[in-house]
């Protein structure tokens, strides 16, 4: 019995042993046979690493082919987070005690790196490096820069001592260079590291996120360009608007590494394709003129008092110059400005706080298209045309006697009396004269009658005419961040009240609201760009053009030669002028507006005639002064116009100048307009030289030689072949 039991137990053990052997054999066969290829593929994958290589971003040129944004190579000392990933992961979420512990663990690496940099004449402390490590500007996936723009001797030092400084990498990076410094900074914009939202919008996945990337859209003929965390992308201005053109197609390098992650070989290398160059409609010389004149004007009046005794703060200002025939922006100046050279490696926290402080004028804001201001009397041509379009102003009903004060009809309460500035009595004025001398009373008369007779003249004729000029909505310029402005109507007043009753006294529209709107006051807001475009429309006879800042993109043929040199580029894309609509006006109606606005500068009674009469320009200029009142502050000074204002001749320039808290339009904005337009109209804009060598020295030599030729020609009695610098045709 015991023998049989033992045999059974022995047999069971044998069966188990055989089963285990068969299972082991089957697993071995499976691994060596079926999964062999998969393991081999995984092994290769572990040995190979694919690296995306960024190519040079496209350059930005002015209309004459001068490079105003370029690229340069910089040497950067970085600390690679990969060897220390466990310690540094999730730094943002760690509590203070945890952070201090991590800091202690990394102190040896930080101390040795800081000491090495200091010995190389780059004063650095471990505290400096720790601040970089915890700075949210830097992507967790990318090495942290601890020293930028270092010399080649620093690069060589660390490359020869890789074992002594684990995690320290020296990289050569391409960063943006600005040969003209801060010129056109707002228009050009800047680049920065792509964020999660931008990654998703560009069709890329965000590491650690479950959000689905968006489906990207591009212009016909363009292919979406790939992005990954850590890449650079245009943040504002032209850099953002033309990101798809400027961005290079990244290259791809596959390398073989050993078990320690050290590179053994380059398996394949697909070079990147450089980005396309973008040519702007801007003339950098005219841009420099506008910026310098604007800054000088603001800084010279700030701290003074207006002619009516108000303190001049002038916190900001802007100038926009366009081509009325094409919509091309020739200059766009905004004050205060910033220097993009200071932020090519990111915006330091202290500088960012300075930029965001309203007391400093918010330098990053492009006030030319992001500032909303009451246009004051520059709005009067809109009201004048509305009066004619509606039929209220016409034969037999065009003249009104201006006694300096206007009393509302049948007024039984509230404000019944409206007046000219200083209650000036201007006598009998027709539509043309009302523009020249800027009669508020004349426009009160139009506004009240249009409101009282809205059954016959339309519900909102003033607002409807403003809409024809594109006011109250985006101009369509390709630059991001444009303010739409505001044209108040009874409807949007009521809607605003219903949405937030506590913010308004009433949702009703009164006659006084129509009067304020008629002279560009009340709730009317325009941007300088909108105002310039409206006067460009007046200048060209009624065609509303879409403002734009670029006219073509190109690809250089020979990368060693200047990209704007004729014959050294091929056009990739052309940006054509675009008509957005037209303003309805008869030749007679246009003639009245034209003569009234020409009289502002040419008629002895014109509100800007003293500026132009004392200094006659190369061609006549039509325009309008504006003085917009602001409660408890100095007035906003405004001027807008176009020139040459000659019947039958196409105008070359339209301009708008707005400086808040600075006084009357005739005292500040009109003289500034003249200072800018006079050299432009006479073809003697002084060329601006780049700040980088050798281009700066060559430019200065050319200017000096040109002035010498001009002086010699003048002494000899003049020569048609000798011109001042800046007058030569490109």
What would the pLDDT profile of 176-209 be if each residue is shown by its tens digit?
999 999 999 999 999 988 888 898 888 877 776 7
Strands 317-322 and 144-147: unpaired
Burial 333-368 (b: 16+ CB within 10 A, else e): bbbbbbebeebbeebeeeeeeebeeeeebbbbbbbb
Strands 48-53 and 251-257: antiparallel
Rank 254-268, 326-340, 614-628 by mean pLDDT and report only the highest.
326-340
For 296-312, how does the pLDDT look when each residue is reduced to its tens digit (9 = 90+)? 999 999 999 998 899 99
Select from 329, 331, 369 the least CA-distant residue to 575. Answer: 329
Residue-wise DSSP of 88-100: HTTGGG--HHHHH
Tokens representing 72 are 């340069």
Q: What phi, psi does 93 have (nearest 5°)? A: -90, -10
**Maximum mean pLDDT: which of 252-256, 265-269, 593-597, 700-704:** 593-597
Digit-coded pLDDT (tens) for 637-683: 999 999 999 998 999 999 999 999 999 999 999 999 999 999 999 98
Cα dihedral angle (10, 12, 18, 23), rounded to 10 degrees? Answer: -150
Q: Is 620 helix (H, G, I), strand (E, B) or coil?
A: coil
Total residue count of the chain as it appears in this document: 730
162: left (phi over 0), alpha (psi -120 to 50) or beta: alpha
Nearest to 306 by CA among 681, 649, 633, 697: 633
Q: What average pLDDT does this structure show over 589-618?
A: 93
Phi, psi angle pair for 177, to nearest 5°: -125, 140
Mind listing the pLDDT tens digit for each residue in 397-421?
999 999 999 999 988 777 899 999 9
**Number of Cα atoms under 13 Å in the Cβ half of residue 509:** 23
d(CA 51, CA 253): 5
Cα gap 596→431, rounded to integer Å: 7
**In 3D, which of 144, 540, 590 has the Cα closest to residue 328?**
540
The shares of helix, strand and coil residues in the chain, as percent rounded to the nearest 5, are 40, 20, 40
In 392-547, beta strands by DSSP E: 400-402, 405-407, 417-419, 427-429, 543-545
Total H helices, total E strands in the chain = 25, 23
The CA distance from 233 to 624, in Å, is: 41
Give per-residue pLDDT as tens, 570-587.
Answer: 999 999 999 999 999 999
Distances from the Cα of 259 to the Cαs of 164, 212, 253, 256, in angstroms? 20, 34, 19, 10
**pLDDT confidence bin for 217, thresholds 50/70/90:** low
- pLDDT, residue 13, reads 59
**3 state DSSP class of 292:** helix
The Cα–Cα gap between 332 and 402 comes to 38
Task: Return the pLDDT at 720.
Answer: 45
Token output for 505: 């006294």
Q: Helices 126-133 & 96-119, crossing angle to 10 degrees?
A: 130
Segment 495-516, tens digit of pLDDT: 999 999 998 888 999 999 999 9
- Backbone torsions φ then ψ of 430, nearest 5 degrees: -100, -175
Q: How confident is the model at residue 728 (pLDDT cuts 50, 70, 90)?
A: very low
Interval 341-358 mean pLDDT:
87
Share of the chain above pLDDT 70, in %: 85
Burial (CB count <10 Å: 0-12, 13-18, 19+), residue 416: middle
Two structure tokens written together for 234: 């245009």
DSSP secondary structure letter of residue 379:
G
Res. 591: pLDDT tops 80? yes
Reading the block at residue 35, the tokens are 């999964």
Could you read off the pLDDT of 105-135 as tens digits, one per residue? 777 788 888 898 998 889 988 888 888 877 7
DSSP SS3 for 656: strand
What residues pair up with 176 in beta bridges, in sequence order? 71
523, 504 in Cβ contact below 8 A? no
> What pLDDT digit, counting tens, does each position of 220-246 carry?
767 788 888 778 899 999 999 999 999
DSSP assignment letter at 31? I
Residue predicted with more confidence, 378 or 699: 378
- Cα 652 from Cα 649, distance rounded (Å): 9
Residue 718's pLDDT is what? 54
């Amino acid at each position: 019995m015991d023998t049989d039991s033992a045999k059974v137990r022995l047999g069971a053990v044998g069966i188990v042993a055989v089963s285990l052997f068969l299972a082991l054999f089957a697993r071995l066969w499976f691994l060596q046979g079926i999964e062999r290829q998969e393991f081999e593929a995984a092994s290769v994958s572990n040995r190979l690493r694919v690296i995306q290589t960024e190519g040079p971003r496209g350059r930005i040129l002015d209309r004459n082919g001068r490079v105003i944004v370029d690229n340069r190579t910089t040497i950067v000392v970085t600390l690679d987070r990969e060897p220390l990933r466990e310690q540094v992961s999730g730094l943002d979420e760690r509590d203070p005690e945890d952070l201090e512990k991590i800091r202690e663990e990394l102190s040896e690496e930080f101390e040795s790196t800081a000491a090495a940099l200091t010995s190389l004449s780059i004063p650095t402390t471990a505290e400096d490096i720790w601040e970089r490590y915890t700075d949210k500007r830097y992507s967790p996936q990318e090495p942290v820069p601890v020293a930028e723009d270092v010399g080649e001797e620093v690069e060589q030092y660390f490359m020869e001592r890789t074992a002594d400084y684990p995690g320290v990498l020296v990289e050569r990076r391409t960063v943006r260079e600005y040969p003209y410094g801060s010129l056109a900074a707002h228009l050009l914009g800047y680049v920065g590291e792509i964020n999660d939202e931008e990654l998703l919008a560009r069709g890329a996945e965000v590491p650690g996120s479950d959000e689905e990337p968006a489906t990207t859209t591009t212009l016909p003929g363009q292919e979406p360009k790939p992005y990954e965390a850590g890449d650079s992308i245009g943040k504002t201005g032209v850099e953002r608007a033309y990101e798809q053109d400027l961005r290079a197609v990244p290259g791809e390098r596959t390398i073989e590494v050993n078990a320690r992650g050290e590179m053994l070989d380059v398996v394949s290398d697909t070079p990147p394709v450089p980005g396309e160059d973008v040519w702007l409609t801007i003339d950098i010389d005219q841009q420099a003129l506008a910026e310098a004149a604007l800054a000088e004007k603001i800084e010279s009046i700030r701290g003074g008092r207006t002619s009516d005794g108000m303190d001049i703060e002038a916190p900001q200002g802007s100038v926009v110059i366009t081509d009325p025939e094409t919509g091309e922006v020739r200059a766009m100046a905004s004050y205060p400005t910033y220097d993009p050279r200071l932020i090519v490696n990111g915006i330091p926290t202290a500088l960012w706080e300075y930029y965001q402080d309203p007391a400093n004028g918010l330098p990053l804001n492009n006030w030319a298209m992001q500032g909303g201001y009451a246009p004051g009397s520059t709005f009067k041509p809109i009201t004048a045309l509305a009066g004619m379009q509606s039929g209220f102003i016409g034969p037999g009903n065009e003249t009104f006697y201006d006694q300096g004060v206007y009393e509302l009809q049948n007024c039984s309460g509230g404000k019944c009396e409206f007046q000219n500035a200083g209650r000036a009595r201007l006598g009998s004025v027709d539509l043309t004269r009302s523009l020249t001398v800027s009669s508020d009373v004349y426009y009160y008369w139009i506004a009240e009658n249009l409101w009282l007779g809205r059954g016959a003249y339309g519900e909102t004729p003033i607002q409807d005419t403003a809409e024809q000029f594109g006011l109250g909505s985006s101009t369509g310029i390709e630059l991001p961040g444009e303010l739409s402005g505001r044209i108040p109507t009874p409807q949007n007043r009521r809607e605003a009240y219903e949405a937030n009753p506590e913010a308004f006294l009433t949702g009703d529209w009164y006659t006084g609201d129509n009067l304020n709107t008629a002279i560009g006051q009340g709730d009317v807001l325009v941007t300088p760009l909108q105002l310039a475009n409206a006067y460009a429309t007046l200048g060209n006879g009624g065609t509303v053009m879409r403002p734009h800042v670029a006219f073509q993109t190109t690809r250089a043929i020979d990368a060693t030669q200047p990209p704007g040199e004729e014959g050294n580029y091929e056009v990739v894309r052309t940006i054509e002028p675009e008509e957005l609509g037209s303003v309805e006006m008869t030749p007679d109606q246009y003639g009245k507006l034209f003569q009234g606005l020409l009289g502002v500068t040419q008629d002895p009674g014109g509100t800007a005639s003293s500026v132009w009469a004392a200094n006659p320009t190369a061609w006549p200029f039509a325009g309008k002064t504006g003085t917009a009142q602001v409660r408890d502050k100095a007035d906003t000074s405004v001027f807008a116009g176009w020139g040459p204002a000659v019947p039958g001749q196409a105008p070359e320039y339209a301009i708008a100048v707005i400086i808040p808290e600075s006084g009357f339009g005739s005292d500040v904005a009109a003289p500034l307009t003249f200072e800018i337009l006079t050299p432009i109209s006479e073809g003697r804009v002084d060329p601006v030289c780049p700040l980088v060598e050798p281009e700066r020295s060559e430019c200065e030599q050319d200017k000096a030689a040109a002035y010498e030729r001009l002086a010699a020609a003048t002494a000899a009695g003049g020569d048609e072949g000798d011109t001042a610098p800046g007058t030569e045709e490109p």
